[in-house]
């Protein structure tokens, strides 16, 4: 066979192998059965008192009846598959409302009882992924995905909007409020939710919200002011940046925020999550530190009146600060050490565990500011829920945390803030479904909804940690395989480091100052370029130099006399450790005769 023929056929063999593993994992699970769950205590997600000795009949993927053993229930068909839940606890299938889905995540979600996810990243492959899951060809949670629009009103129209390209494109451009209805109509039946950004003009945002709601679609967005975003008709606010900014009332706080400014770049390597500028979803100590707790009640009343849901993403944003950092890191590490999870990329594993250490290098005073901000956030959320506000849990997996397990960590953090376990559960079930306008199908164990049920070994209302103790998972009337399997795969992989916005980007060297030195000189060289991280290292001819991080565009490196003994041309480059990162060859550095 010729080399050309060989290159052509190898990818086809790879695709065939992926398909075989994927379909083998699906098998008969593609077809809903009639399942009768009996016994156990049902916590149905509605907030009602638990039902003892529950009965749940699921036919054709839908719940046909729910009753207790003391009641006269529906007749159960002969030959039904019986699941005995005696002594156990039953909850609705869990929902993670904010994920960035990649091929390896399916088993992790199912293992922890997550039966539905909302992919707020996605791309041209999202439709294929959704079809594969619905057909049973891909063993994964229910897959919902977003649509986005080009912000022509702010000069950010997408010239490829609506086109079939290799990149994720806006579905349509919205240049003015008059464009909103047509833009929404373009995504009806093609997406499950619409995402906007924090800096959209209010009148355009409002027009899109009105048009989306008329078609039964929800709007979620980042925010720079939660009260404004709420008034524009958003259904769910991602992260708490907008809450923190709206709650900053003092002149000193406003001045500090103005000095911080808004981040102008898209990527923030994991070690830089504590940014000097403001970016939704990243730690801004001087932001949350300045929250005025006396203003919380006024803000909360405003948000509750507008029925605005909040997704705090606490596990993602505060993993290095919370009291449970060590516990959560140990749980993650133990899980990731499973030999049957060897398919999870090493960069991802490192990223998951590194999230617990971003605060290790900050000063004690700075850490106090972070901690004060975190306590402000806890108080706000406790008061918000107590006043009738609703949270929807989204983890931002797998940006920096483990799919599936991180949703349980998120609920634990809510409980630690003083939110009752039943409401923490609702944030990952009914409230999440309500926010997405899918509560007619998801979020609670009631007649007429999808047969998505999780059976636990212990009571989550006594200890929310018990929600991790998953015994069985039923999705759409199909008993799921929740074990991990070496070789698990799906057809839709995402390529490129840019897909992970907390990966360190590949370093680029564009200038050296000085670029020429003499034998046995002792000098500091300014290495200028792009995408440098605090842990980047300058390399001269294969030797690691003493390196100081100045910023993402500059490193200072010491070239000591013992490294300049031999004259000649050398390569001076930069190495940035994983996740992401890499080594750049750099530029020519000259050592000449004394």
Q: Express each pLDDT in 478-494 by its tens digit.
A: 999 999 999 999 999 98
Q: How many CA atoms lie within 13 A of 163 on its CB side?
A: 8
Q: Is the dihedral of CA 382, 384, 389, 391 positive or negative?
A: negative
Provide the residue ranges of all domains of the chain, joining segments of one domain with +: 91-498, 505-592
Q: List pLDDT tens digits, range 160-183.
A: 677 665 556 778 889 999 999 999
Asked if 446 contacts 135 with a C-beta cutoff of 8 angstroms, the reply is: no
Query: Given this model, what pLDDT does residue 157 score?
Result: 73
Strand bridging mode 236-238 / 54-59: unpaired
**What parts of the chain have a pLDDT lower than 50?**
1-29
For domain 505-592, the question of CATH label 3.40.190.10 is answered with no
Non-local CB neighbours of 195 within 8 Å, separated by 6+ positions = 120, 146, 147, 148, 219, 220, 221
Are the CB atoms for 573 and 583 separated by under 8 Å? yes
- Name the residue among 237, 251, 325, 344 with its Cα closest to residue 281: 237
d(CA 271, CA 268): 8
What pairs with residue 309 in β-bridges? 236
Say how far apart CA 211 and CA 228 lie, in whole Å.
Answer: 18
The per-residue pLDDT for 2 is 32
What letters, b where the CB count within 10 A reaches 16 and e where it falls short, cover 61-74?
bbbbbbbeeeeebe
Assigned CATH class of 91-498: alpha beta
pTM attached to this predicted model: 0.87
Instruction: Specify the pLDDT at position 285.
Output: 72
Cα 171 from chain centroid (whole Å): 22
Please report how many Cα atoms fall inside a 13 Å half-sphere around the Cα of residue 306, on the Cβ side. 21
Q: Estimate to the nearest angstrom the gap between the alpha carbon of 207 and the chain centroid.
A: 27
Three-state secondary-structure class, residue 352:
helix
Residue 402 CA to residue 108 CA, distance in Å, equals 8
Report helix angle 405-416 to 325-336, nearest 10. 170
Residue 189: CB atoms within 10 Å:
8
Give which of 200, 229, 196, 201 is closest to 212, Cα–Cα: 196
Residue 67 confidence (pLDDT): 96
Residue 568 bridge partners (DSSP): 591
Give the pLDDT of residue 459.
99
Length of the chain: 594
Q: Is residue 9 packed enough to be buried (19+ CB in 10 Å), middle (13-18) or exposed (0-12)?
A: exposed
SS3 206: helix
Q: Name residues whose C-beta falls within 8 Å of residue 7's C-beta, 6 or more positions apart in sequence.
A: none
* Rg, C-alpha atoms of the chain: 26
Q: Are 75 and 476 in contact (CB under 8 A)?
A: no
Neighbours of 39 (CB within 10 A): 19
What is the rounded distance in angstroms from the CA atom of residue 311 to the CA atom of residue 384? 12
Per-residue buried b or exposed e for 148-168, using 16+ beta carbons within 10 Å of the residue's own CB: bbbbbbeeebbeebeeeeeee
Q: Is 30 exposed, middle or buried (0-12, 13-18, 19+ CB in 10 A)?
A: middle
Q: How high is the pLDDT of residue 24?
A: 36
Q: What is the pLDDT of residue 114?
A: 99
Nearest to 459 by CA among 427, 422, 416: 422
- Please tell me the predicted confidence (pLDDT) of residue 166: 52
């Amino acid at each position: 066979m010729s080399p050309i023929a060989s290159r052509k056929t190898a990818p086809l063999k790879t695709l065939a192998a992926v398909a075989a593993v994927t379909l083998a994992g699906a098998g008969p699970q593609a077809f809903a059965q009639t399942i009768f769950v009996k016994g156990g205590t049902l916590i149905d997600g509605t907030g009602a008192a638990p039902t003892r000795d529950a009965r749940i009949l699921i036919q054709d993927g839908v719940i046909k009846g729910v009753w207790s053993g003391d009641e006269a229930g529906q007749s159960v068909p002969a030959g039904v598959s019986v699941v005995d839940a005696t002594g156990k606890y039953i909850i609705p299938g869990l929902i993670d409302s904010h994920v960035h889905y990649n091929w390896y995540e399916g088993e992790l979600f199912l293992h922890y009882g997550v039966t539905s996810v909302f992919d707020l990243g996605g791309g041209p492959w999202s439709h294929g992924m959704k079809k594969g899951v619905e057909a049973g060809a891909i063993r994964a949670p229910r897959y919902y995905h977003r649509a986005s629009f080009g912000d022509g009103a702010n000069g950010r129209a997408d010239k490829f909007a609506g086109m079939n390209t290799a990149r994720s494109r806006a579905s349509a451009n919205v240049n003015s409020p008059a464009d909103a209805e047509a833009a929404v109509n373009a995504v009806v039946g093609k997406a499950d939710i619409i995402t906007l950004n924090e800096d959209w003009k209010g009148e355009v945002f409002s027009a899109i919200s009105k048009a989306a709601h008329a078609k039964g679609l929800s709007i979620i967005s980042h925010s720079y002011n939660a009260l404004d975003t709420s008034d524009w008709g958003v259904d769910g606010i991602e992260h708490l940046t907008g809450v923190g900014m709206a709650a900053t009332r003092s002149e000193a706080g406003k001045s500090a925020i103005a000095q911080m400014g808004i981040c102008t770049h898209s990527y923030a390597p994991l070690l830089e999550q504590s940014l000097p500028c403001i970016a939704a979803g990243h730690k801004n100590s001087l932001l949350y530190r300045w929250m005025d707790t006396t203003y919380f009640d006024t803000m909360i009343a405003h948000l509750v009146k507008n029925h605005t849901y909040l997704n705090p993403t606490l596990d993602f944003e505060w993993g290095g600060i919370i009291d449970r950092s060590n516990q959560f890191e140990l749980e993650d590490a133990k899980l990731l050490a499973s030999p049957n999870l060897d398919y999870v990329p090493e960069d991802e594993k490192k990223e998951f565990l590194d999230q617990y250490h971003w605060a290790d290098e900050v000063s004690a005073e700075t850490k106090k500011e972070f901690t004060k901000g975190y306590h402000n956030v806890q108080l706000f959320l406790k008061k918000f829920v107590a006043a009738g506000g609703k949270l929807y849990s989204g983890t931002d997996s797998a940006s920096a945390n483990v799919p599936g397990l991180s949703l349980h960590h998120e609920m634990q953090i809510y409980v630690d803030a003083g939110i009752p376990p039943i409401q923490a559960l609702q944030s990952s079930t009914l409230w999440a479904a309500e926010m997405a306008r899918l509560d007619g199908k998801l979020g609670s164990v009631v007649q007429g909804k999808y047969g998505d049920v999780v059976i636990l070994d212990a009571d989550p209302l006594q200890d929310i940690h018990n929600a991790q103790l998953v015994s069985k998972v039923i999705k759409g009337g199909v008993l799921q395989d929740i074990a991990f399997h070496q070789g698990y795969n799906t057809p839709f992989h995402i390529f490129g480091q840019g897909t992970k916005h907390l990966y360190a980007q590949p370093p680029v060297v564009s200038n050296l100052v000085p670029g020429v030195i003499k034998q046995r000189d002792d000098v500091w060289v300014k290495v200028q370029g792009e995408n440098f991280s605090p842990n980047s290292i300058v390399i001269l001819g294969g030797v690691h130099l003493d390196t100081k991080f100045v910023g993402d565009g500059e490193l200072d490196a010491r070239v000591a006399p013992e490294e300049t003994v031999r004259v000649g041309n050398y390569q001076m480059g930069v190495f940035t450790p994983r996740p992401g990162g890499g080594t750049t060859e750099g530029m020519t550095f000259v050592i000449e005769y004394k």
